[in-house]
Amino acid sequence: GENVEQHPSTLSVQEGDSAVIKCTYSDSASNYFPWYKQELGKRPQLIIDIRSNVGEKKDQRIAVTLNKTAKHFSLHITETQPEDSAVYFCAASNSNSGYALNFGKGTSLLVTP
């Protein structure tokens, strides 16, 4: 089955700096890659996603890039703010074989003022 690796497991940045979280996947048939943000004590929520026919997608301060050849994708957060502090999960799925997501183990991001 699909295996998703996520790095780093923890990341600390100063407010205003950029943060990058990287994920790799094993199944070349995977074609959908969402990112979820989970604030302390709250449920995971989708923040951005990308499909395999697109190389990059941006939404204000967050962006995701996908390299299908290398089978990795990354989340970029620019101009970080303390409210960006949370656990971020990447995931991958092959929508042609079902709707289940395979999640990475998460990255705990801390943005210090």
Partner 1 sequence: DVKVTQSSRYLVKRTGEKVFLECVQDMDHENMFWYRQDPGLGLRLIYFSYDVKMKEKGDIPEGYSVSREKKERFSLILESASTNQTSMYLCASSSTRLRETQYFGPGTRLLVL
Q: Which residues would be at the binding site for partner 1 (CB under 8 A)?
A: 1, 6, 9, 32, 34, 42-46, 49, 89, 93, 95, 98-106
Burial of 38 (0-12, 13-18, 19+ CB in 10 A): middle
Reported residue count of the chain is 113
Residue closer to partner 1 (CB basis): 78 or 102: 102
Find where tokens 């709250």 sit. 42
Q: Which is nearer to partner 1, 24 or 34 (CB)?
A: 34
Contact 63, 73 (CB under 8 A): no
CB of 103 to partner 1, least distance (A): 4
What's the chain's Rg over C-alpha atoms?
A: 14
- Give the nearest distance from C-beta 54 to partner 1 in angstroms: 14
- Of the two residues 32 and 72, which places its CB atom closer to partner 1 in the complex? 32
